[in-house]
A = this chain, B = another copy of it.
Amino acid sequence: MRCMDNELSSNVVADDPMEQMICFDLYAASQAFTRVYKPLLEPLGLTYPQYLVMLNLWSDAPLTVGEIGRRVSLESNTLTPLIKRLQEADLVTRRRDPADERRVVVGLTPRGHALSEQAAHVPSCILQATGMEPVELADLQRRLRGLTSRMLTYNNK
């Protein structure tokens, strides 16, 4: 679907070019979270994307690279080096799935498993940092998911 300009076009550009950009607000919010996560994750030696991968492994290890990718919305081109860094840090193991040699199964080392305890306090810290009630947060999440879904639909038309 091509975008057709309409009578609203002249109103969407404000004096301040950043003022009306919803995308920029999303970006800024995302960066703000990154900054709050950083000091919490630094003692664990994890970056935020690495933390997302570890969260899934703590919950459901072992997982294939592809399954991890579906959960965190990343593909092997990003995940492979990331997981190799986790392996270097002796947090995860990587081996080919004997049942399907195309797959690589990622598991936790004892050190990787143990790290979950040090990370247990992170979610509550983040919740506190938002300064929002869980109900209010859930509403915002619902709106964001709706927006994301509509954006992706638009893109596929």
Instruction: Write the residues of chain A forming the contact surface with B, with a CB cutoff of 8 angstroms.
Output: 3, 5-6, 8-9, 11-13, 15-18, 20-37, 39-40, 48, 52, 55-56, 58-60, 71-73, 120-121, 123-132, 134, 137, 140-141, 143-145, 147-148, 150-152, 154-155
Question: Which residues from B are CB-within-8-Å of A127?
Answer: 8, 12
Task: Output the least CB separation between A35 and chain B (Å).
Answer: 5
Contact assessment for B30 and A26 in the assembled complex, using a CB-CB cutoff below 8 Å: yes
Residue among B59, B129, B131, B151 making CB contact with A32, cutoff 8 Å = B151
Given contacts A151-B35, A154-B128, whether A121 and B5 have CB atoms under 8 Å apart is: yes
Q: How far is the CA of A110 from the CA of B83 in the complex (A)?
A: 46
